[in-house]
Amino acid sequence: MSGDKTIPKVIEYIPLVIKKDLIRSEDDLHQLIQMESQGKAVIMEDIFTIPVAMRVFRVLLQNTLEIIFQTDYNNKILLFSNANYPIIRPPEFITELVYKEGIKNDHGRSITINEINLEDYWSKLSKVDEVRDIRDFLSKIHSRLKKSDTTFLTGNVPTIAFLIVQNLLFGHTNQLYYQNPVDKQLDKIY
């Protein structure tokens, strides 16, 4: 007989709960997230400011089996999976938006600075169907991402747009910054 006979696994998804009163520093945040999420499948709700959400997401990328992001519209979207076996997920989870293809890196060459205003891509979407908008955003932004030393992300867009781009850039940029589009304040994510 041929074919993969791996039996799909059912895994439990835990909501990420961070007690904000315990966070006094970046190290506290990192340790709390790591304790809550190490090796688990996590549901991250859209409850943080964008720079905090990006920092939380970075720790989750390094520690979790899977990350589901629950949007304000209650869509549960798989953003990351580190599972190397088939998984049976709840039917309401949207899994087709995980982008498996890496970013273009122009034959190994890297640019120094990459500045991306996500609003340039998000503003052209329909804003009628969140899942379709995310899919369209992903296809549009993917070609704009390049391997770089430093990347600056800005724009007045939903948190999920930043997390999608952050996931695609993971391992392809040495430093990642979020720039608030209103006051231009820079927040270093890593």
DSSP string spanning 105-167? -STT--EEEEEEETHHHHTTS-SS-HHHHHHHHHHHHHTT-B-EEEEEEE-S--HHHHHHHHH
- Angle at alpha carbon of residue 138, lines to 137 and 139, rounded to 5°: 95
**pLDDT digits over 99-154, tens only?**
666 666 555 677 899 999 999 999 999 888 999 999 999 989 988 898 999 999 99
d(CA 74, CA 79): 15
**Cα separation values, 61 from 39, 79, 87, 105, 168, Å:** 10, 10, 18, 21, 11
Q: Which of 176, 168, 172 is nearest to 150 (CA)?
A: 176
**pLDDT digits over 61-83, tens only?**
999 999 999 999 999 999 999 99
The domain ranges of the chain are 9-188
| Confidence at residue 25, expressed as pLDDT on a 0 to 100 scale | 81
| Confidence at residue 107, expressed as pLDDT on a 0 to 100 scale | 57
Residue 11 near residue 65 (C-beta atoms within 8 A): yes
For residue 1, what pLDDT band results from cuts at 50, 70 and 90?
very low
Name beta bridge partners: 173.
148
